[in-house]
Amino acid sequence: MSIYTVPFVINGEERHAENTFDVTSPDTGKVVHQCGIATEKDAVAAVEAAAAASQQWRDTSAAERRDIFLRAAEIMNNRRKELAQYVIDELGAAAAWAEFNINLTIDMYKDVAGRVAAVEGTIPPCAPGTSAMLVKEPYGVVLAMAPWNAPYILGTRSVLFPLAAGCTVVFKGSESSPRTHRSIVSVLNEAGVPKGVINYLVTDPAHAPSVTKSLIANPAVKKINFTGSTAVGKIIAEMAGQHLKPLVLELGGKAPAIVWEDADLDLAAQQCALGAFFFSGQICMSTEKIVVHKKVSEAFQEKLRVTIEQMFPSKGDALVLINARSVDKSKKLIKDAVSKGGVLLNGDVDAEESSKTRLRPIIVSKVTPEMDLYQQESFGPSASLIEVGSEEEALRVANDTEYGLTSAIFTEDLKTAFRIAKGIETGAVHINSMTIHDEMTLPHGGAKASGYGRFNALTGVEEWVRTKIITWKN
């Protein structure tokens, strides 16, 4: 029996590449399917298809687009079992993570369907004898690039908001989740998106630089969105800057959670453990710095240890990461911290697991700025715990990072919470809940090296329209 090969989708038709690569399950180590390797020629074809379909799509009514997105939500729900299995196979994820992705994506389709008609122009006041109107027009062809870790949520939002605004899309999926990302296009095509409006391709790491450069440089591409690491985001931004193309970037994070002296420690322990280790810490919003007031640090640490054992029992299976490199990176950061005086509060960095893609939750206390773990995003199941004695110190530690995506504060005093929240340099602050929080009504994005621009809500739709002024003499 031949193994399935994930195709590209260009102008509504499946296209199979000459060369392929294996997609391997991080959980079992087995090849689950293969995927085509896109070339610059494929990139050109995808952009040409999107450009050819642009006028037709921008001329569709808001009602037509709304109905397509509502059908997509229904289709995704009907195909739930199939779609969940792709996530489980490609990411080694638990069924709960697949369901979470599907549920939030269905909500996204419904929410955006209701916002399509909300993009409006205005008639501003002008000088005597002159009138004007401000109209909002779709950019045109958009290049969307999404990562593997929350594949339905991040993949769908990368294409859905531009589509809602009347743009056509070239969607460059992740080599780690190609079939999952391919199914996003399948759902939209089944829902009635016309040929060429959304085009899909994937390539391998060796060809990614040339293919991405070709896509960005293509004159027909008018705006770009990228979700991924800050390191790659800087490269994308530099390429786009050479062509003066605007971007929406959602990049890495080093999310702090501040546990204050009056916090509900049971709640804080639960939310910090979940925020740090949900989906093995492979979320840009994962809790990476736990900043604890000295007065409650000892009590909190004990509750945190107990909570971690309850949520992720040491006698159960270790957490699965996307590949062995991610495990090695986390271990390297932890070992560096311990060698410089850090203390393991939870976990064993030298533990042997059933595969090289597994690692159990680890907390390191007494972390200082000299340690790599203090500054670098681990993107794995590890977090640092740092004690502070004042609000000023808490804010200094929380902000002492290049990142600024999200954060959390645990306190029973709302005035304290608001005061600290105003001082944290992040795109979101969550009071008495974990750093991981994403819902469709809230604009989502970061500060500093966590990117710029916003997804979600009406703001997320209006990222993909530009204003035009039309004047006339009365």
Single out the residue of 91, 111, 103, 277 nearest to residue 175, CA to CA. 91
For 474, the token pair is 């009365």
Cα–Cα distance, 387 to 400 (Å, whole number): 14
Q: Are 60 and 177 in contact (CB under 8 A)?
A: no
Contacts of 14 (CB under 8 A, 6+ apart): 7, 8
Q: What is the pLDDT of residues 249-301, one digit of tens each?
A: 999 999 999 999 999 999 999 999 999 999 999 999 999 999 999 999 999 99
Count the Cβ atoms, other than its own, within 10 Å of residue 100: 18
| Distance in angstroms (rounded) separating the CA atoms of residues 413 and 321 | 37
How far apart are the C-alpha atoms of 84 and 68, rounded to whole Å?
22
Tokens of 347: 């976990």
pLDDT single digits (tens) 119-160: 999 999 999 999 999 999 999 999 999 999 999 999 999 999
pLDDT, tens only, 196-209? 999 999 999 999 99
pLDDT band of residue 161 (cuts 50, 70, 90) is very high
Share of residues in the chain with pLDDT > 90 (%):
100
Contacts of 320 (CB under 8 A, 6+ apart): 26, 27, 92, 93, 280, 357, 358
Q: Residue 21 corresponds to which tokens in the numbers above? A: 């690569």
Mean pLDDT within 422-439: 97
Catalytic option among 90, 284, 288, 462: 284
Half-sphere exposure of 278 (CA within 13 A, CB side): 21
Q: Distance between CA atoms of 434 and 437, rounded to whole angstroms?
A: 7
Task: Give the bridge partners for 409, in sequence order.
Answer: 258, 431
Cα four-point dihedral sign 301, 302, 307, 312: positive
Catalytic, 284? Answer yes
Single-letter amino acid, residue 71: R
Q: How far is CA 372 from CA 93, 330, 343, in A?
A: 28, 11, 14
In this structure, are strands 13-15 and 8-10 parallel, antiparallel, or unpaired?
A: antiparallel
Grade residue 1 by pLDDT with cuts at 50, 70 and 90: low
SS3 of 189-209: the string is HHHCCCCCCEEEECCCCCCHH
**pLDDT, tens digit (0-9, with 9 covering 90-100), for 218-249:** 999 999 999 999 999 999 999 999 999 999 99
- Identity at 21, one-letter amino acid code: F
Q: Write out the H or E segment, with its range, that includes residue 186.
A: helix 178-191
pLDDT category at 2 given cuts 50, 70, 90 is: confident
Local structure of residue 3 (DSSP, 8 states) = P
- 34 falls in which pLDDT band (50, 70, 90)? very high
Mean pLDDT of 19-38: 97
CA torsion angle for 399, 404, 407, 411 (degrees, to 10)?
Answer: 30
Q: What angle do CA 420, 421, 427 make, to 5 degrees?
A: 145
State the pTM of this model.
Answer: 0.96
Give the C-alpha separation, 378 to 252, whole Å: 10
- From the list 409, 408, 407, 399, the residue with the least C-alpha distance to 448 is 399
Q: What does the alpha-carbon distance between residue 96 and residue 219 come to, in Å, rounded to a whole number?
A: 42
- Answer for the pair 6, 179: CB distance below 8 angstroms, yes or no: yes
Largest pairwise CA distance in the chain: 79
Active site residue 167: no
* pLDDT tens-place string over residues 53-65: 999 999 999 999 9
Q: What is the mean pLDDT of the chain?
A: 97
Any bridge partners for residue 250, and if so which? 227, 451
Active-site residue identified among 90, 175, 250, 463: 250
To the nearest 5 percent, what fractions of the chain are helix, strand and coil? 45, 25, 35
Counting residues of the chain whose pLDDT is more than 70, the rounded percentage is 100
User: For 348-395, what is each residue's pLDDT tens digit?
Assistant: 999 999 999 999 999 999 999 999 999 999 999 999 999 999 999 999
Rg over alpha carbons for the chain, rounded to the nearest Å, is: 23
Q: Strand 141-145: give its sheet, edge to edge.
A: 13-15, 8-10, 198-201, 168-172, 141-145, 221-227, 247-250, 451-452
Position 400: which residue type? D
Rounded Cα gap, residues 69 and 159, in angstroms? 12
Report which secondary-structure segment, H or E, holds 473: strand 465-473
The pair of three-digit structure tokens given for residue 437, joined into one six-digit string: 């929080």
Name the H helices within 21-94. Answer: 40-58, 62-78, 80-91
Q: How far apart are CA 291 and CA 314, in angstroms?
A: 25
